[in-house]
């Protein structure tokens, strides 16, 4: 089964210097997971999950009548009397364990069929890490439910909606819904085969998936969490009425459901940053953290390559505006643009935006060598980004923002300098890190090229900006740079239009201030005053 895409061929911890820090334990663990043989890892993960769930669900009293004894509703003597009269028959714990094992095996089978059918769409990147996280969350919340019930807490307090909140943010809604269905069934079995509990947890947690999917900030997540609590309270109240409870008891059960929602939100707020950091899965909160200019890596870019930093900020603004126009991920496009040229940290002086009052080092190099240095910033960017634990989606933008385009300036210079009969290989002057695949990578490619070109002209006018954008898009289409990209032709031209609007807005009309008068001429005028001006003249 082939899931996800390969990570960049970068060795973690290969270098440790100013731009390549020492990897953390979690980063080493993730690197180890990604380099394991996929089939073996998935088999081990499946077997471990099956054993863990079977043990947590199947061990201990299962039938509802025995749960009533453990909760003090029935006395042990009453249970023995009912057994002697043949009114109830207690189950064989080993038979119950076998039954639970078969149920969990069926759940695993459905899970893997689902991944075989939809895995490529769901697990776009880092399949091993995402599946490890999915198994960990399922085991964790099943264990939490078992602890709640063994401690004789009301089972309707089981914070399964917390699984929905965390899982939706980290794994997406499709995989999360399957996990919620499986876990709800398992919790119902643990609670004494309580079908109504399963229904309440499934409805509340399923609604949580729908609510959280639109939460792209911590404030929105808090609002979604309190809304989930209200819905969970209403659902548990309704389930109480269905189960035959009186109105006061059903209201109390609804209060427990409300507490379930609040507890789920608190659990999610605590675990989400920890799991986000441990598994390095892209979330809106992670993107907001990376977009902060005080981020250490961005701060290094500002210090070592200020021209590149300014360029990256401008490209980020253009990319975000264009992504909003076509309803792509605007935040991902902006943050990806912030880091797309981070590889220039290695040799900042070789890039024109950083050559402020400096000699251009390319004047002493051959065009081929200059092209190799320019191309190198993509590989350096991947190494730096990987060393700093940037998410895979950002690494993809770093790798693909130039596609396989030709470094035109040095290619033409090589042609001019070529001796008679000397062959200039075009491949030596093309980037080779792959064409853009995502919409966001394609947007950054266009914004990057346009911004750099517009900045190079002395007095950009709206007409010249429009011509540059049209020419850039046309040349990249003809060069096949969007052949692998998710962007449609209509979206490509809408991106160009959005960038044109944004650039013209940035340029805008400006007042040309007059030069200050020369001090020497001013002093001379004071020594030799001329004839007085007629009344009413303006200076």
Per-position b or e across 54-77, b if 16+ CB within 10 A of its CB: bbbbbebbbeebbbbbeeeebeee
The yes-or-no verdict on residue 310 having pLDDT over 60 is: yes
The yes-or-no verdict on residue 116 having pLDDT over 90 is: no
**Closest of 320, 411, 327, 332 to residue 372, by C-alpha:** 411
Per-residue pLDDT of 431-484, as tens digits, reads 988 899 999 999 999 999 999 999 888 788 888 999 999 999 999 999 999 999
Taking the alpha carbons at both ends of the chain, their separation in whole angstroms is 82
**Closest of 243, 142, 239 to residue 187, by C-alpha:** 142
Could you tell me if residue 166 is left (phi over 0), alpha (psi between -120 and 50 degrees) or otherwise beta? alpha
Residue with tokens 């999915």: 134
Q: What is the pLDDT of residue 141?
A: 93
Mean pLDDT check: name the lowest of 12-26, 334-348, 516-530. Answer: 516-530
User: Residue 531 has which token pair?
Assistant: 């004839």
Cα 278 from chain centroid (whole Å): 14
What sign has the CA pseudo-torsion 389, 390, 391, 393?
negative
pLDDT band at 509 (very low <50, low <70, confident <90, very high): low
Residue 406 pairs with which residues in a beta bridge? 430
Work out the average pLDDT over 196-209: 91
Q: Quote the mean pLDDT of the chain.
A: 83
Segments making up each domain of the chain, as ranges: 36-280, 285-507
User: Residue 356 has which token pair?
Assistant: 């402020």
Q: Which residue has the higher pLDDT, 443 or 22?
A: 443
> CA–CA separation, 432 vs 420, rounded Å?
28
3-state DSSP helix/strand/coil % of the chain, to nearest 5? 70, 0, 30
Q: What is the pLDDT of residue 26?
A: 80
Q: What is the pLDDT of residue 337?
A: 96
Q: Could you tell me if 108 and 49 are in contact, meaning their C-beta atoms sit under 8 angstroms apart?
A: yes
**Closest of 141, 130, 158 to residue 53, by C-alpha:** 141
Residue with tokens 């003249």: 537
Per-residue pLDDT of 68-96, as tens digits, reads 544 455 455 555 555 555 544 456 677 88
User: Residue 434 has which token pair?
Assistant: 């792959």
pLDDT band at 282 (very low <50, low <70, confident <90, very high): confident
**Closest of 236, 187, 185, 186 to residue 207, by C-alpha:** 236
Q: What is the pLDDT of residue 531?
A: 42
Q: What is the pLDDT of residue 445?
A: 96
Q: Could you tell me if 74 and 65 are in contact, meaning their C-beta atoms sit under 8 angstroms apart?
A: yes
Could you tell me if residue 407 is left (phi over 0), alpha (psi between -120 and 50 degrees) or otherwise beta? beta
Q: What is the pLDDT of residue 514?
A: 61
Residue 430 pairs with which residues in a beta bridge? 406
Q: Could you tell me if 274 and 317 are in contact, meaning their C-beta atoms sit under 8 angstroms apart?
A: no
pLDDT band at 20 (very low <50, low <70, confident <90, very high): low
Per-residue pLDDT of 141-177, as tens digits, reads 999 999 988 888 888 999 999 999 999 988 888 889 9
Determine whether domain 285-507 maps to CATH 3.30.2320: no
Q: What is the pLDDT of residue 30?
A: 82
Q: What is the pLDDT of residue 78?
A: 54
Per-residue pLDDT of 39-73, as tens digits, reads 888 889 999 999 999 999 988 655 554 555 444 55
> CA–CA separation, 299 vs 306, rounded Å?
10
Query: Distances from the Cα of 133 to the Cαs of 166, 190, 209, in angstroms?
Result: 11, 23, 17
Q: What is the pLDDT of residue 374?
A: 93
Per-residue pLDDT of 346-398, as tens digits, reads 989 899 888 876 788 888 888 999 999 999 999 999 999 988 889 989 999 99
Q: What's the residue count for the chain?
A: 539
Per-residue pLDDT of 396-420, as tens digits, reads 999 999 999 999 889 999 988 887 7
The helix/strand/coil state of 73 is coil
């Amino acid at each position: 089964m082939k899931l996800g895409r390969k990570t960049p061929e970068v060795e973690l911890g290969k270098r440790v210097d100013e731009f390549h820090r020492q990897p953390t334990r979690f980063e080493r663990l993730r690197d180890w997971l990604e380099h394991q043989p996929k089939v073996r890892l998935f088999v081990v993960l499946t077997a471990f999950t099956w054993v863990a769930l079977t043990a947590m669900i199947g061990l201990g009293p299962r039938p509802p009548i025995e749960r009533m004894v453990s909760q003090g509703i029935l006395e042990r003597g009453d249970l023995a009397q009912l057994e002697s009269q043949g009114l109830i028959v207690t189950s064989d714990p080993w038979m119950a364990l076998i039954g639970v094992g078969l149920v969990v095996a069926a759940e695993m089978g459905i899970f893997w069929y689902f991944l075989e059918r939809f895995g490529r769409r769901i697990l776009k990147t880092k399949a091993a890490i995402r599946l490890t996280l999915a198994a960990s969350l399922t085991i964790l919340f099943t264990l939490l439910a078992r602890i709640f019930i063994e401690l004789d807490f009301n089972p309707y307090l089981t914070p399964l909606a917390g699984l929905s909140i965390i899982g939706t943010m980290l794994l997406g809604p499709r995989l999360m819904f399957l996990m919620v269905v499986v876990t709800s069934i398992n919790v119902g079995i643990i609670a004494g085969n309580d079908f109504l509990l399963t229904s309440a947890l499934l409805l509340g947690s399923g609604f949580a998936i729908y609510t959280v999917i639109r939460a792209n900030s911590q404030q929105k997540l808090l609002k979604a969490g309190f809304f989930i609590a209200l819905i969970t309270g209403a659902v548990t109240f309704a389930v109480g009425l269905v189960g035959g409870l009186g109105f006061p008891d059903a209201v109390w059960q609804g209060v427990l459901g409300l507490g379930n929602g609040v507890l789920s939100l608190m659990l999610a707020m605590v675990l989400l940053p920890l799991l986000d950091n441990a598994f390095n899965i892209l979330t809106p909160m992670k993107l907001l953290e990376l977009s902060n200019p005080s981020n250490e890596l961005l701060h290094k870019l500002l210090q070592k390559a200020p021209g590149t930093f300014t360029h990256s900020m401008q490209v980020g603004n253009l990319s975000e505006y264009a992504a909003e126009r076509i309803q792509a991920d605007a935040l991902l496009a902006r943050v990806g643009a912030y880091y797309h040229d981070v590889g220039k940290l290695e040799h900042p002086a070789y890039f024109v935006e950083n050559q402020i009052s400096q000699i251009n080092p390319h004047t002493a190099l051959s065009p081929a060598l200059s092209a190799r240095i320019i191309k190198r910033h993509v590989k350096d960017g991947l190494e730096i980004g990987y060393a700093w634990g940037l998410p895979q989606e950002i690494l993809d933008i770093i790798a693909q923002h130039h596609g396989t385009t030709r470094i035109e300036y040095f290619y033409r210079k090589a042609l001019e300098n070529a001796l008679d009969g000397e062959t200039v290989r075009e491949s030596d002057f093309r980037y080779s890190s792959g064409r853009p695949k995502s919409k966001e990578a394609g947007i950054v490619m266009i914004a990057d090229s346009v911004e750099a070109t517009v900045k190079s002209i002395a007095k950009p006018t709206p007409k010249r900006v429009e011509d540059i954008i049209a020419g850039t898009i046309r040349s990249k289409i003809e060069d096949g740079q969007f052949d692998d990209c998710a962007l449609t032709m209509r979206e490509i031209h809408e991106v160009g239009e959005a960038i044109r609007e944004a650039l013209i807005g940035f340029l805008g009309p400006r007042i040309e201030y007059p030069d200050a008068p020369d001090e020497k001429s001013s002093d001379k005028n004071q020594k030799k005053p001329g004839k007085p001006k007629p009344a009413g003249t303006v200076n």
